[in-house]
Amino acid sequence: MEIRVKCECGEEECSEWTILELQGVVETQSSFQGSVQNLEIGRLCHSGSSQETYTFTVGYHELTGSKVTLNKPLLVLKKLQKCTDGSSEKETELEVVGIIRSKILFKTRPKPLFSGTS
């Protein structure tokens, strides 16, 4: 079997995706479980102190991280199932839909925010 990796765009026009990477998992309150769509996770801020420092505030936690340029880019591929004419067999194709050149990495433990107390 041969699967062609195709792309509609050239390297220059390929749309750039990105990743926010953090340790562990983000837990959703039990009342939202199973329907997280549209729910706000947190707020990403490019802080003024340094070029590449970002904070991500999730609930009462603040994560501090930085923008990392990937040594090797990640390509975002989408698996397509195409029906070929006159046969019931489906043909698989992979299409490049995006490229990821940088991510924002939060590698420290979250810092609790105590706002409005004490």
Region at 60 (left for phi over 0; alpha for psi -120 to 50; beta for the rest): alpha
Least separation in angstroms between residue 86's CB and other proteins is: 18
Give the separation between CA 51 and CA 34, rounded to whole angstroms. Answer: 37
Least separation in angstroms between residue 73's CB and other proteins is: 6
Binding residues (CB under 8 A) for other proteins: these are 1-7, 9-11, 14-26, 36-48, 51, 54, 56, 70, 72-80, 94, 96-100, 102-104
Side chain identity at residue 70, one-letter code: L
Question: Which residue, 31 or 38, has its beta carbon nearer to other proteins?
Answer: 38
Give the separation between CA 75 and CA 2, rounded to whole angstroms. Answer: 20
Question: Which residue, 4 or 114, has its beta carbon nearer to other proteins?
Answer: 4
